[in-house]
A and B are shown apart, each in its own frame.
Chain A
Amino acid sequence: MNDAPYDAGSRLMRLASLALLWIILVVILFPFAEMISTSLKSQPDLALYPPVWFPSIPQLGNFIEVWSQVPLATYLKNSVIIAGGSMVLNGIVAIPAGFALARFRFPGRQSFLYAVVATQMFSPVVLLLATFRMMFSFGLLNTYWSVIFVNATTALPFTIWMLTAYFSTIPREIEEAAILDNTGRWRMLVDHFVPIAMPGIITAMTFAFVIAWNEFLFAVTFITDQDLRPLTTGIYTFVGRTQTLWQFLMAASIISIIPVFLGFLLVQRRLVSGLAAGAVK
């Protein structure tokens, strides 16, 4: 990773740029401050205008109460199952594919890579109708499987792309040494490539997990059973009542964000280099 060396530009320019940077960051983070602030308000606090940053009595209890306002625990569980399942399914199919695209020579390899890129163009949103029909005829509506399949597929172009890039960076000589050691292709993947590329795999799988975790449209269309709904749809149910309980909505949202954000922080450095590998290669 190469950072730009100290720029000999004028000091004023540097300060101005830095200032601009922090301003932009503040602007970007402002809504989150609002989110936290709102989650700590009581019902009457919400109606205050002009709105205050800090309520007189922060209602930390909101974070407890939200669990009973809606079946948040159930939603959380469902999100974990759906996102986890999507990630696992995606991994199972994408890892061998990335390996083959990175290390095998075969006619049609280029075409396949182009096809992978091309599928990114089809937003699943656009295919909602047809997919709905399909799930209906498979009898998968209102099950975890319907969204798991769709989410795993949605993330597929990204993860295959990233995994292909990661697997390509493993030195050829290690593969050759293993070939001479009588390593078959599947063993090559399992014994060598997966362990060596593990950071990259984790990054790609985090991607797949987050995409599934935040997915809304398919979840809301395919799953109507309250017991099976994930967080995204669950949070949405706060709206559309006669009165929106914003403080709980915010609290639930924060609860939903935390695992993802923590996960992101963990892989953040990897994420940057992973995107580099995928984008520049």
Chain B
Amino acid sequence: MKILVLLKQVPDSDEVKLNPETGTMIREGVGTVINPLDLHALETALRIKETGDHSVTVVSMGPPAAEEAVREAIAMGADRAVLLTDRKFAGADTWATSMALARFAEKEGPFDLILAGEKATDGETGQVGPETGAMLGIPVATYVSRIAELDESGITIEREVEDGKEIWKLPLPSLVSVTKDVNEPRLPTLNGKKLARNASVERIGNDFLELDPSEIGLKGSPTRVVRIGTPKLSRKVEMYEGSSIRDGIDEIKKRLAPYLEVNHE
């Protein structure tokens, strides 16, 4: 079975600072890692690999600097790591990113199973998985918390949704995006790290994907960020401090009083 895992590289800290004057992200000193939620997708693939004759390819789109994050996947046990990188891909939104990933999956496929994380910890859209699946014309299951069964006839999964738990059987190929409940990702082994150091990350550009310029990068992206701002402060706070704390507590008490459980005895 051929398995493809979609990875994104993200800043390795959730404490990204902003330049207060320009409103832009301060990237200096912020490394990149594989999106932590994608590690659960990779782990899912690696556990499948351990059960038989399966191969795991990971693919990411990003600048050349993303190579280090992708290499980490080899240290964990992936067979092949691919970075879609090309100046022409720059500025891609989720649509254009999915387009490139879907084209890669088509050209290098067919893959029997495509795995993705729930969302990236930076953009938090969770859109690339389902968009890629729709572009490939295959079934998609999101919020998957357990892989129950997998064989040639398909994959049986559990999804956690607002009103309960669903169990689905999907045919192959399908795209499955997993939550962090699906497993506990392994750490890279020392051996794996050695292997990764010498392994090459394949770089693929649009020469290979042959997408129309209107479908890639900023030009291929329907959305535009038009304004960036810091969240606005909309309240005027009344502060209680030191000797006035008592008044503050009384104020909360007054607000909560209507909700007190009434004793009907």
Report whether chain A binds chain B: no
